[in-house]
């Protein structure tokens, strides 16, 4: 929080819309005295929301009227072509126009990808934007994983670009020399598919600290700072982890509700259980970064509550303050330099 | 346990070898009065092991001498070509010769795949064997997932064959009409990569109950009985789940050890915590089935203890008793029948 930052917020997106986004905005401004917000959405709705008075009183929030809303079920092409005045689109436009340093939306992923790309364009040298998210690991820090579903059919060059962008984001978040790894299968069986083998070759040529392969379980051990994979594999891996965590949580709850003694034990153990739940609270990891665009865009989970959405705002502020886009451009320039044949 | 069954056991494989495998064999025979075992390994070592006397007393265990052992670090090609008298190979040969109904080994996966395929050959109509394993789900039953790493580069036809074999195994394990699904990414973004789209087309033509796509988190909800994916994705998904479960377990332990009060709470909650641990005990799911071979082959985790290895033996006995190989052949025949053009 060293420099002023302004974020454009799509206040209408997500499963809950204004009650969640405005509460999060208020909390965010309270904690970050150098931040200001552009609240994008239906002006009358925003002005009549309970949290608005306090936001207005802060004098660091300004409303930008957007008459349309991208619904969670809107197909990307429809949202892109027909809703030219959506809160999502206008939020990205604020970034494109230079009025905001970054944008945050909890709207539907497909539309968000299509519209952000259409409005902001990709950085020169990047073929496809990727979705990156931080996941907790045992070492107490977090691991950045990408791509998580933006690109389900990738080439080795795409994976190499993901590595470069992930490394830049990790550095922007404070890691000095991020360890970049490729997600792969166990050595015992076969050392990866064709795509991964070629990607490893390319990553070795990149201006980044490539440490080779990691396996699925290594991700949660903190074996790498950045884990690169194609969007299909990343999406399956992330959702599988969510599924396991939900199942284990449900089982634990069930066991603590089984009979009188268990309920008593739960009561006594409740401070410990609460500490555990807090530690693995996925809301703190809310806020996936769209990498490769000419602007900072953070996607909140659609079902996020105000606590989760605030974390997405914080993520965007941090990425913007640490010049994420410039860092990626610089890495790309460095790469071109490396690839250029030396003078005779 | 309705009919007699004989299994060939590679007693030398795994991280622990004889102490684990023989203890498991003894326990297995005690619980299954119609089972008998061929103990394959170094005869003198087997005979001098503590558990052997009891095994011999059962009169349902017979030793088959194998002078060589496939080590955990042996490359598949080396194990296949140079160790023609290994306990692993001789165990599979017992199945090929019709002396055993199935074989179990905790040896290294690569060697196990190569040698079992070399000795037993694939079923006609199956291009590649797959590795299938059962994973727990919230509904209290289990989900069969394949492939888990045998094939990292798959075609749509391979995935369709996995569906057919998985369905046959699920039926052999007692599911009347297994729901077969394809592992895919969230609908919102893009509906899967090219491979998965083509595989869905082929699975629809198969003589099985194909229910469409499931996402990573659905696997643990019990949304399908059989989940099909390529070996790269399956391996990453499985190892990622293991990683999450280990991390959550470690966090829970740490919280219950943080200070005096937490330790007291842990003491009081210990019966509940033990019930939880028992419920998610991965050892009960030990025993991956190699599908597509002309014989039942089950792979135990290399690090399995006697409790885990016993479950792998039970899995093999069940698959053999329910005629797994014949079921797969019958499904393939049914498929050919469906594909044949009708008479004019």
Q: Report pLDDT for B343.
A: 52
- CB-CB neighbors (< 8 A) of A272 in chain B: 255-256, 258, 261-262, 265-266
- CB-CB neighbors (< 8 A) of A238 in chain B: 216
Summarize pLDDT for B190-199 with one digit per residue, the tens: 578 888 889 9
* Inside any domain, residue B341: no
Q: Tell me if A232 and B138 make a contact (CB, 8 A cut-off).
A: no
* Inside any domain, residue A306: yes
Tell me how far apart the alpha carbons of residues B88 and B107 are, in angstroms, rounded to a whole number: 7
Scan residues 187-216 of A and list those with Cβ closer than 8 Å to B.
188-190, 192-194, 196, 215-216
- CB-CB neighbors (< 8 A) of A236 in chain B: 183, 185, 215-216, 229, 233, 236-237
Q: How many CB atoms lie within 10 A of CB A334?
A: 14
Q: Tell me if A269 and B265 make a contact (CB, 8 A cut-off).
A: yes
Summarize pLDDT for B143-178 with one digit per residue, the tens: 999 999 888 889 999 999 999 999 999 998 889 999
Describe the crossing of helices A87-96 and A109-120 by its angle, rounded to 10 degrees. Answer: 30
Section B306-334 average pLDDT: 94
Q: What are A307's two structure tokens?
A: 């606590």
* Inside any domain, residue B228: yes
Is the confidence at residue B187, as pLDDT, over 60? Answer: no
Task: Say yes or no: A109 and A153 in one domain.
Answer: no
Is the confidence at residue B202, as pLDDT, over 80? Answer: yes
Partner-chain residue, chosen from A217, A251, A272, that has the shortest CB–CB distance to B240: A217
Provide the CATH number for the domain around residue B143.
3.40.718.10
Task: Say yes or no: A119 and A140 in one domain.
Answer: no
Residue A214: closest CA among chain B residues belongs to which residue? B236
Residue A238: closest CA among chain B residues belongs to which residue? B216
Task: Say yes or no: A199 and A97 in one domain.
Answer: no
Task: Say yes or no: A278 and A307 in one domain.
Answer: no
Q: Report pLDDT for B132.
A: 95
Q: pTM value?
A: 0.88
- Optimal mutation site among B239, B249, B261, interface A, most CBs of chain A within 10 A: B239
Name the domain count of chain A: 2
Better-predicted residue by pLDDT, B153 or B316: B316
Residue A191: closest CA among chain B residues belongs to which residue? B152
Residue B188: pLDDT band with limits 50, 70, 90: very low
Q: Report pLDDT for B214.
A: 92
Summarize pLDDT for B91-109 with one digit per residue, the tens: 999 999 999 999 999 998 8
Better-predicted residue by pLDDT, B333 or B41: B41
* ipTM of the complex, rounded to two decimals: 0.83
Scan residues 36-75 of A and list those with Cβ closer than 8 Å to B.
none
Residues whose CB falls within 8 Å of the CB of residue B202, separated by 6 or more in sequence, listed in order? B156, B157, B159, B160
Q: Report pLDDT for A342.
A: 57
Which residues lie across from B291 on neighbouring strands?
B130
Residues whose CB falls within 8 Å of the CB of residue B140, separated by 6 or more in sequence, listed in order? B222
Task: Say yes or no: A84 and A39 in one domain.
Answer: yes
Q: Tell me if A269 and B271 make a contact (CB, 8 A cut-off).
A: no
Q: Report pLDDT for B264.
A: 85
DSSP states of A152-203:
SS--HHHHHHHHHHHHHHHHHTT-SS-EEEEE---TTT-S--HHHHHHHHHH
* Inside any domain, residue A29: yes
| B185 part of contact set with chain A, CB < 8 Å | yes
Partner-chain residue, chosen from B150, B217, B262, that has the shortest CB–CB distance to A242: B217
Task: Say yes or no: A282 and A307 in one domain.
Answer: no
Q: Tell me if B136 and A247 make a contact (CB, 8 A cut-off).
A: yes
- Taking only the tens of pLDDT, chain A with its 344 residues reads 479 999 999 999 999 999 999 999 999 999 999 999 999 999 999 999 999 999 999 999 999 999 999 998 888 889 999 999 999 999 999 999 999 999 999 998 889 999 999 999 999 989 889 999 999 888 888 999 999 988 888 999 999 999 999 999 999 888 999 999 999 986 543 578 888 889 998 999 889 999 999 999 899 999 999 999 999 999 999 999 888 888 888 888 888 888 888 888 888 888 888 888 887 778 888 999 999 999 999 999 998 999 999 999 999 999 999 999 999 999 888 888 877 665 55
Residue A135: closest CA among chain B residues belongs to which residue? B244
Count how many Cα atoms sit within 13 Å of the Cα of residue B174 in the half-sphere of its side chain: 6
Query: Rounded to a whole number, what is the distance in Å from the CA of A213 to chain B's nearest CA?
Result: 12
Is the confidence at residue B186, as pLDDT, over 70? Answer: no
Q: Tell me if B272 and A258 make a contact (CB, 8 A cut-off).
A: yes
Task: Say yes or no: A278 and A248 in one domain.
Answer: yes
Q: Is B55 in contact with B49 (CB distance < 8 Å)?
A: no
Task: Say yes or no: B236 and B276 in one domain.
Answer: yes
- CB-CB neighbors (< 8 A) of B261 in chain A: 271-272
* Inside any domain, residue B152: yes
CB pairs under 8 A between A and B: 214
Better-predicted residue by pLDDT, B259 or B25: B25
Q: Report pLDDT for A189.
A: 39
Count how many Cα atoms sit within 13 Å of the Cα of residue B316 in the half-sphere of its side chain: 35
Partner-chain residue, chosen from B110, B183, B243, that has the shortest CB–CB distance to A221: B243
Residue B189: pLDDT band with limits 50, 70, 90: very low
Q: Tell me if B258 and A272 make a contact (CB, 8 A cut-off).
A: yes
Tell me how far apart the alpha carbons of residues A241 and A148 are, in angstroms, rounded to a whole number: 13
Residues whose CB falls within 8 Å of the CB of residue B342, separated by 6 or more in sequence, listed in order? none
Least confident interval from A78-82, B217-221, B279-283? B279-283
Q: Tell me if A216 and B237 make a contact (CB, 8 A cut-off).
A: yes
The average confidence (pLDDT) of chain B is 91
* The domain boundary residue, chosen from B263, B285, B307: B285
Q: Is A340 in contact with A45 (CB distance < 8 Å)?
A: no
| A236 part of contact set with chain B, CB < 8 Å | yes
Scan residues 94-123 of B and list those with Cβ closer than 8 Å to A.
108-110, 113
* Inside any domain, residue A100: yes
- CB-CB neighbors (< 8 A) of B138 in chain A: 246-247, 250-251
- CB-CB neighbors (< 8 A) of B250 in chain A: 138
Cα pseudo-dihedral A147, A148, A154, A158, rounded to 10: -10
Residues of chain B above pLDDT 90, percent: 64
Q: Report pLDDT for B178.
A: 95
Task: Say yes or no: A84 and A144 in one domain.
Answer: no
Section B47-72 average pLDDT: 94
Task: Say yes or no: A165 and A241 in one domain.
Answer: yes
Tell me how far apart the alpha carbons of residues B63 and B65 are, in angstroms, rounded to a whole number: 6
* Inside any domain, residue B214: yes
Tell me how far apart the alpha carbons of residues B172 and B170 are, in angstroms, rounded to a whole number: 5
* Inside any domain, residue A7: yes
Task: Say yes or no: A284 and A137 in one domain.
Answer: yes
| B256 part of contact set with chain A, CB < 8 Å | yes
Task: Say yes or no: A23 and A158 in one domain.
Answer: no
- CB-CB neighbors (< 8 A) of A280 in chain B: 248, 251
Tell me how far apart the alpha carbons of residues B329 and B331 are, in angstroms, rounded to a whole number: 5
Query: Rounded to a whole number, what is the distance in Å from the CA of B196 to chain A's nearest CA?
Result: 10
Scan residues 142-161 of A and list those with Cβ closer than 8 Å to B.
149-150, 152-153
Least confident interval from A101-105, A264-268, B39-43, B51-55? A264-268
Q: Domain residues for B202?
A: 127-285
């Amino acid at each position: 929080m060293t420099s002023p930052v302004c974020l454009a917020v799509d206040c209408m997106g997500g499963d809950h819309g204004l009650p969640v986004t405005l509460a999060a905005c208020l909390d965010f401004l309270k904690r970050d005295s150098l931040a200001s917000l552009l609240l994008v959405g239906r002006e009358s709705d925003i002005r009549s929301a309970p949290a608005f008075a306090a936001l207005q009183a802060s004098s660091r929030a300004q409303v930008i009227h957007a008459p349309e809303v991208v619904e969670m079920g809107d197909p990307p092409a429809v949202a892109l072509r027909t809703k030219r005045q959506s809160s999502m689109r206008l939020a990205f436009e604020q970034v494109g126009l230079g009025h905001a340093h970054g944008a945050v939306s909890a709207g539907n992923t497909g539309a968000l990808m299509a519209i952000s790309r259409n409005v902001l364009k990709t950085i020169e040298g990047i073929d496809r934007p990727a979705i990156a998210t931080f996941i907790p690991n045992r070492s107490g820090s977090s691991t950045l994983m990408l791509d998580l579903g933006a690109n389900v059919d990738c080439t080795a060059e795409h994976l190499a670009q993901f590595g470069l962008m992930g490394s830049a984001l990790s550095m922007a978040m404070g890691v000095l020399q991020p360890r970049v790894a490729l997600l792969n299968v166990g050595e015992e069986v076969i050392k990866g598919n064709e795509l991964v083998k070629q990607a490893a070759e390319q990553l070795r040529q990149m201006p980044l600290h490539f440490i080779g392969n990691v396996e699925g379980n290594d991700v949660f051990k903190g074996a790498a700072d950045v884990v690169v994979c194609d969007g299909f594999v990343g999406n399956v891996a992330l959702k599988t982890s969510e599924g396991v965590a939900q199942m284990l949580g449900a089982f634990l709850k069930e066991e603590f509700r089984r009979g009188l003694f268990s309920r008593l034990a739960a009561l006594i153990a409740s401070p410990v259980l609460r500490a555990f739940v807090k530690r693995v609270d996925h809301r703190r990891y809310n806020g996936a970064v769209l990498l490769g665009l000419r602007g900072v865009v953070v996607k909140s989970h659609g079902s996020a509550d105000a606590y989760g959405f605030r974390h997405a705002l914080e993520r965007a502020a941090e990425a913007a303050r640490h010049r994420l886009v410039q860092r990626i451009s610089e890495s790309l320039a460095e790469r071109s330099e490396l690839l250029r044949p030396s003078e005779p």
